[in-house]
Amino acid sequence: MVDDRLPILLVILDGLGDRAASELDGQTPCEAASTPNLDALAAVGINGVHVPFGPGRATSSEHAHWALFGFGDIAFPGRAAIEALGVGLNPPVGVPLFHLALRAGIPRDNVLHLGARARPKQDAEACAALFAALSGRTKAGIQFDLLPLRTGESVLCAHGAHSHEVSDSDSLFDHLHPWMRPTALPEAQDRVAAEALASALETWLIESHRILLRHPINAERRAAGLPMLDVAVTKWASVLDPALPSFKTAIGVRGAAITDTALYRGLARVLGMDLVDIPYDPTDAAGDMHRRIAAAAELLKSNAFVHVHVKATDEAGHSKKPHFKRDVIAATDAGLSALPELARRAVVAVTGDHASPSVGSLLHSGDPTPFVVAAPSLRADAVTGFGERHALTGECGRLRAAEVLPLLLGLANRPFFIGHRPGAHPTLALPDAPEPMPVIFEE
């Protein structure tokens, strides 16, 4: 038998999906963009749309990627932990963690709404002093310490807490919701411990607000006409589980990633994936994408799965300028010229992790995102162009995130054979290196 297993390249254009825009004659930015390289891939591949968790269900990037990596049935550790790993911190294992940010409080309708954030450069020293005033306090036997993340942001560690299953106090959707009360999640494994943490965290946050209101830094900001950073808000409850399997253990093959932000560096590190970090160059979308694909081609020589992420399309969606997002997609496509040739010796897939509408008020939406995969000996479907309308007629139909990696592994001649158990750990792929039987050869 010939070993014809293939490597897999999964390119994620963050926030690629969108909605029809009147400025683009009723097309989405992807449909309106000139994408000759993605069109060429679509013409030799099979196509569909990616709806990570089902039609209409909006998702964050981290949860979509977790499922795309084949970890949908494994508890997600939480983004606060992932971000900490992504900036090079070593957050404590087994300790509840939260993302903590400083915001301006705006009294309205007898509650506080969230206003301005810290400015990355100008407010660095001020935020360091404000965080120093908050760290190290103990409430109900839980000590709250801070690990610096970036200007105006820290990781809050709840030492002594025995659950992390607490809701966010950060409204996220500031135009709709106020500063929110943290509560224990009803599905918490240890409801008593979750309620204890929620109560202690509430007290800590309220006292933090008082400390921040009285801090000399905020008095100086008020006098200078700057918004006070007087509210501490938490989100992304996390805990690092020492039993979390690596990508290789859970999937059965080596994985690697080309990253561009702390989130994706952190995901690669928590899963034990090799990584090459290429900071995004907003002045040269085509060159930036070309460098990522070239780096991925090198990683494919030693890894069965390589993930490439680029943030440009998501940022373009958040600009709420459909023409701009269209142009960013076109420029990104120009950097994908190597993909059709690469698909002659590897499984090559391109999609988005979610939709980031460039119209309307939504941050992310559950709208479909184009999906294409090409591989050697693959029978192409009838689709010849890349975009939502084209993709909806493709052979793949509607794919959920958890279905993507099994599809790619099958096309790579690496499917797990149901009914066979080559090792202690169930894997998504036919494992590359099951443990061999120890044999003593007689001389």
pLDDT digits (tens, 9 = 90+) for 309-336: 999 999 999 999 999 999 999 999 999 9
Residue 367 CB partners (closer than 8 Å, separation 6+): 17, 18, 19, 355, 357, 388
Q: Tell me the whole-structure pTM to 2 decimals.
A: 0.95
Structural domains of the chain, with CATH: 8-74+245-411 (3.40.720.10), 88-238 (no CATH)
Hey, what are 98's tokens? 């939260």
Average pLDDT, stretch 256-278?
97
Residue 423 has pLDDT above 90, yes or no: no
Do 370 and 386 touch, CB atoms closer than 8 A? Answer: yes
Sign for the CA dihedral angle at 136, 142, 147, 150 comes to: negative
Residue 354 CB partners (closer than 8 Å, separation 6+): 15, 17, 52, 58, 59, 60, 61, 64, 364, 365, 366, 369
Quick: pLDDT tens for 56-86. Answer: 999 999 999 999 999 999 999 999 999 999 9
Give the per-residue pLDDT at 159.
98
Average pLDDT, stretch 396-403?
97
Give the per-residue pLDDT at 113.
96
Give the per-residue pLDDT at 132.
97
Three-state DSSP at 165 gives coil
Instruction: Place 424 in a pLDDT band, splitting at 50, 70 and 90.
Output: confident
Which percentage of the chain shows pLDDT scores above 90? 95
Quick: pLDDT tens for 177-217. Answer: 999 999 999 999 999 999 999 999 999 999 999 999 999 99
Which strand ranges, in their side-by-side order, compose the sheet holding 305-310? 274-277, 255-259, 305-310, 8-13, 347-351, 369-374, 46-50, 397-399
Give the per-residue pLDDT at 442.
77
Average pLDDT, stretch 250-271?
97
Instruction: Place 265 in a pLDDT band, splitting at 50, 70 and 90.
Output: very high
Tell me how far apart the alpha carbons of residues 383 and 394 are, in angstroms, rounded to a whole number.
Answer: 6
Residue 443 has pLDDT above 90, yes or no: no
Give the per-residue pLDDT at 440.
85
Do 124 and 156 touch, CB atoms closer than 8 A? Answer: no
What is the maximum span of the chain, computed from C-alpha positions, in angstroms?
87
Mean per-residue pLDDT of the chain: 96
Residue 347 has pLDDT above 80, yes or no: yes
Task: Kindly calculate the radius of gyration of the chain based on its CA atoms and give it in whole angstroms.
Answer: 24
Which percentage of the chain shows pLDDT scores above 70? 100
438: how many CB neighbours lie within 10 A of its CB?
5
Sign for the CA dihedral angle at 167, 170, 171, 172 comes to: negative
Give the per-residue pLDDT at 441.
83
Tell me how far apart the alpha carbons of residues 383 and 377 are, in angstroms, rounded to a whole number.
Answer: 17
Residue 94 has pLDDT above 80, yes or no: yes
Hey, what are 220's tokens? 């100086």
Instruction: Place 147 in a pLDDT band, splitting at 50, 70 and 90.
Output: very high
Hey, what are 5's tokens? 């297993």
Distances (CA, A) of 111 to 108, 174, 179, 195: 6, 13, 8, 23
Quick: pLDDT tens for 33-58. Answer: 999 999 999 999 999 999 999 999 99
Distances (CA, A) of 359 to 56, 61, 389: 16, 19, 18
Average pLDDT, stretch 107-120?
94
- H-run or E-run covering 214: helix 191-214
Closest CA to 182 of 161, 199, 157, 163: 199
Residue 417 has pLDDT above 80, yes or no: yes
